[in-house]
Every structure is written in C-alpha cells, then in structure tokens.
Amino acid sequence: MENIRTIEEINDKIRRGDAVVLTAEEMIELVESKGVKVAAKEVDVVTTGTFGAMCSSGAIINLGHSDPPIKIHRAWINDVEVSHPGAAVDLYIGATQMSETRPFEYGGGHVIEDLIRGKEVELRAVAYGTDCYPRTRIETTITKYDLNQFYLLNFRNCYQRYNCATNGSDEIKYTYMGKLYPRYGNATFSGSGELNPLMKDPDYETIGVGTRIFLGGAQGYVIGEGTQHDPKSGFGTIMVRGDAKKMSPEFIRGAAFTKYGTTLYVGIGIPIPILNERLAAKAALKDEEIFTDIVDYGVPRRDRPKLGKVSYKELKSGKITIKDRDVKVSPLSSIRKARVIAETLKRWIEEGTFFLTAPVERLPRDTVFKPMKQIEGPVFLRSIVRPAVTCSEDEDLEAVASKLIENSVNHIVVTGPDGKLTGIVTSWDITKAVAQGITDLRKVITRKVFTALPDETVDVASRRMAQHGISALPIVDSDGRVLGIVTSEDIAKLLGRR
C-alpha cells in the first residue's frame, strides 16, 4: 500500500500549526461516519494513552561523588533497597522492591513518585572500601535537584492488551491483578482497549527504537521491545526511557497491591502517524474488536485455565459473563487518565511542542516468549501423598488415641460412610481432651479442614499450611473423598532431599 504522507511532512505541518490530530476515540468516530479513505486523507496523527500498573519499571539515578568517595555496595532510599548496577554511585530504583520497614505499603514505585514530587528522601549506603574509594558508609538526604541523572528506565511497559483475571478457587486471592473474590465473585482487567498504544499499530509499522512518546507527563522514547515481548500472541511490550526530572506525579504513581507488593503506575501515550489507509484502519480499531482471555488466577500455575474470551467493550461495561453468571469486572488501569494522556499528547502536537520520529528499527514481530528452563519440574502432591489413617465420627476417643500411637502419626482424618472428609483430629486435640476430661470424640473434631487436590503442587500446599498455621493437609478428590494426607514433615523431607 502506498504511503500518502511521510513523518517529515507531518512534522512540517506541526511546525506550521496545521497538523490534524485526533485521539484514538475521535478517530473511531470519524472512521465510522466518513470511512477509512476520508479519515486517512484528513488525519495526520492519532494519539493513544494508557495509565496502569507496570511492575517492570524503575529509575536510574546518579548521585555524584562523596568526599572521601564511596563505591556503593548496597544502598537504601527511604528503607527501600536499591541496586547498584554500575560503578560507584549509580543506583537503580526498582518499582517492586519493598521498604524493609513498611513492606507491601511503600516501595520503589513510591520512592520514584516522591522524588518526582520534589520530596526529600533518605539515602543510606554501605561499601567494603577500596584504595580509590575508602569510604564504607554514608547517610544523607537527597531530592531530584541533587541528582545528576534521574531517568525512568522501564524494561517492560505498555502491554498491547492483558488478561482478564478471575478466581475459581474457594479462597480469596490477592494478586497483581488485584483482589479476587472466590468462586468467580468478581474479575479485573488491565489496559485501555481502543486507546491502548500498541493496539493502534499492532504490526509496529511506526513504533520502534527511537519513537518519541508521552511518558509520565514528559517526552520520552521507546528504546526497544520490552522483555517478554510476545507479538505473535498480541501481547507486545516496549522498553522506554524518559527524563524523570520533568515528569509529573499526575502520570507516575507508586502503588501497593495488598499481599502482592508495590509497583508503579505509568502513563504512556504513543502518537501514531497515519502514513497510509492501513494505519488509519488499525488506528480506528474499536473496543468490541479487541478481545482477551478470561483467566482463572485461582490456579497457581504458569498455564492458568482460560475460561473464555471477552471484548474490551464488555470489560468496560463493568459486567461480564463467566460460567453463565453475571460477574462485576474492575478496570485496574485508569481509563479516565488514559483519555487525559491521549488528549494531552494531542494538545502538545497541535501546539507544536511535540514532533514525531521515525523508528531507527521497528519492534520485532517474530520473537517468542519462552518459559523458564528448569532442572526439575514441579512436584505434585499425588507423587508424595501417603495413605491417611482414618476414623469415623462415632469411634471412641481412646480407640482414636490408640490409632495415633500404633501408626505413629499426628493426624487422623475423619470420614463419613461414603469416604468423604468430615473433619480432622490431631494428637494435640486428643491431649487437650484428656486434660479437660472430654470423652466424646465429636467434641474434639475440627470441622473446618483445609485440604488439597492431588494435582496441586508442593509449593502451594506448603504455602497453604503456613498461611493457616497447620501441619497437614488431607488430599481429597473433587468430590471431597479422602485420597490420603500430606504433612509438613513430608514436605520438609522432600525439600531436604533436593
């Protein structure tokens, strides 16, 4: 397809103040009313926007040298450990690194926001000392004005689209996709759909190394594809850089996801030059044409079950259908802010303060997102489950006590006549009963029992035991029939063998 204009021509029009710029939402309306041909002819640039949690973000800072100089080995800002990726005084503030004194509430993302706000932060560093860098400790306070460089340097941002998350398990899950009620009680999604930057040029015809973008309220650049870039599945990502000293807390925010950790909300907008009709058509892609998978985050595995497909139009309506039930769905990224970003970028171009760049190299379209190479695969409970010692509700307390001794176990699983789990009795329960003179077994049975399925992993089982302060999990099938038991001792032995 022949191009109808070049980026140089668009920049000339921007200079003259007569470039025609529409936001992605406005472009959709224009294409609907006048068609792609006319829209391609009339429009020079379409602006996009997204404002969401982007965990693989951070900032590189340079402190300048102290006197006497220090070659920093470990450093903390506001009690958040920052890494030392370079020589003496270059530090990288990772968004998800958490404060050692306020974990899960304050982290690297908040440090970056505080610095952007111009707040003073506390720096603490230690070093081993060398002939050229003799100093071994330093404590000081800094603001962004004291820094030589303060650049946002994010290695994976701006997903083209993302999964819709829900939770089919029986427990509430706190995830990087937010708080998910059990039994598909709610759902969450991320991304701005028809405003999403990479969605509006999904073949990356105009996006690549050197593309100038809106980043955090300032002008920044795409410096390549992001990590885990997965173009073939429609999950493209970008790596970006921008001068954080010029950014605004309106578009860069530290955030905390309960029981997951801290992160950074990043605002990104990419201008799409409408070089031909094909780009005009893609820039006009609508929410109802953009689909994503509904994924069950209740299953803690790499490949989580997919429960169906859903469009961004349905997601933005606030309600989707999962297993024939209406489920409320929360956006996690701010669609209002995404709009503000697309509008701001539009204004910058109209005012002649933002010019477009042609990429030096386009984002790759053939990379594959591989899983981790592991020496050992996951260990499933079915491979370590032992037969459970069981009893029925009407057995004598003394008989149950004897079973504990004879089998040298600490847990007896209580089952009904159909083999289904009805409770559990531990050696502690029996000891307590004896001490209190209780003789009725029914009075000491624990009825609320945490269980596991045979195809769950050892990691999940040990986490469940730790969370609930218990030392064994009966293994049951999907109907609740007891298949065996796994104790914390079994898992400790297994880990010892590794």
Residues that bind other proteins (CB under 8 A): 51-53, 105, 178-179, 181, 186-188, 253, 255-258, 263, 265, 318, 327-337, 339
Q: Kind and range of the H or E element at 434?
A: helix 427-436
| Catalytic member of 132, 158, 164, 391 | 132
Minimum CB separation from other proteins for residue 179, in Å? 4
Of residues 261 and 474, the one with the C-beta less far from other proteins: 261
- Is residue 132 a contact partner of residue 89, using CB atoms and an 8 Å limit? no
Q: What is the DSSP letter of 67?
A: S
Question: Rounded to 5 degrees, what angle do the CA atoms 366, 195, 107 make?
Answer: 80
Q: The tokens of 114 are what?
A: 């505080």
Cα–Cα dist 199/137, whole Å:
48
**Alpha carbon distance 197, 282 (integer Å):** 11
Give the shortest CB-158-to-other proteins separation in angstroms: 16
Residue 172 contacts residue 180 (beta carbons within 8 Å): yes
Enter the DSSP assignment of 154.
Answer: E
Q: Which is nearer to other proteins, 68 or 318 (CB)?
A: 318
Q: Do 450 and 464 contact (CB within 8 A), yes or no?
A: yes
Known active-site residue 132: yes
The least CB distance from residue 338 to other proteins, in Å, is 8
Looking at the DSSP assignment, which residues form a beta bridge with residue 1? none
User: Between 151 and 181, whose beta carbon lies closer to other proteins?
Assistant: 181
Distance CA 392, CA 413 (A): 8
Burial class (CB in 10 A: 0-12, 13-18, 19+), 330: middle
CA triplet 203, 332, 366: central angle to 5 degrees? 20
Q: How far is the CB of 330 from other proteins (least distance, A)?
A: 4
Q: Which two tokens stand for residue 55?
A: 């965990």
| Residue with smaller CB distance to other proteins, 97 or 263 | 263
- CB of 160 within 8 A of CB of 236? yes
- Residue 50 · residue 344 · CB < 8 Å: no
Closer Cβ to other proteins, 329 or 449, answer by number: 329
Q: Which two tokens stand for residue 101?
A: 């004194």
Q: Pick from 193, 187, 196, 129: which is nearest to 157 by CA?
A: 196
If the CB atoms of residues 49 and 242 are measured against other proteins, the closer one turns out to be 49
Residue 289 gets the label, from left (phi > 0), alpha (psi -120 to 50) or beta, of alpha
Q: Quick one: 179 or 304, whose CB is closer to other proteins?
A: 179
Taking CA atoms, 319 is separated from 45, 188, 290, 442, in Å, by 33, 10, 16, 45
Rounded to a whole number of angstroms, the minimum distance from the CB of residue 424 to other proteins is 27
User: Smallest distance from the beta carbon of 57 to other proteins, in angstroms?
Assistant: 14
- Minimum distance from residue 169 beta carbon to other proteins (Å): 17
Question: What phi and psi values does residue 256 have, to the nearest 5 degrees?
Answer: -130, 125
Closer Cβ to other proteins, 174 or 380, answer by number: 174
Residue 450 CB, nearest approach to other proteins (Å):
22
> Annotated active-site positions, please?
132
